[in-house]
């Protein structure tokens, strides 16, 4: 088990959460937000991903929708 796996297990145990988190999906969303928007978007977006799942949106559906948003994100041109 890696340090990351140990960490995630400890956090899940602390809050009584299911440790069967799709880590790759969450990390992919963080990467897409960081590269498609800007780096600080990664942790905030993964938090929002969790909130969407908490609200009943399936993880893979929420991740796909966020990835599509990040892929199409365009910054407004400076004026």
User: pLDDT per residue over 34-64, tens digit each?
Assistant: 999 999 999 999 999 999 999 999 999 999 9
Nearest to 24 by CA among 77, 63, 76: 63
Phi, psi of 9, rounded to the nearest 5 degrees: -65, -40
- pTM, to two decimals: 0.84
CA angle (71 as vertex; 65, 75 as ends), nearest 5: 115
Asked if 62 contacts 77 with a C-beta cutoff of 8 angstroms, the reply is no
Asked if 61 contacts 69 with a C-beta cutoff of 8 angstroms, the reply is no
Average pLDDT, the chain: 91
């Amino acid at each position: 088990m890696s340090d990351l796996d140990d960490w995630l297990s400890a956090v899940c145990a602390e809050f009584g959460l299911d440790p069967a988190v799709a880590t790759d999906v969450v990390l992919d969303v963080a990467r897409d937000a960081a590269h498609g928007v800007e780096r600080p978007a990664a942790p905030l977006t993964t938090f929002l991903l969790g909130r969407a799942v908490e609200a009943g949106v399936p993880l893979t559906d929420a991740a796909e929708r966020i990835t599509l948003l990040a892929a199409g994100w365009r910054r407004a041109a400076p004026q």
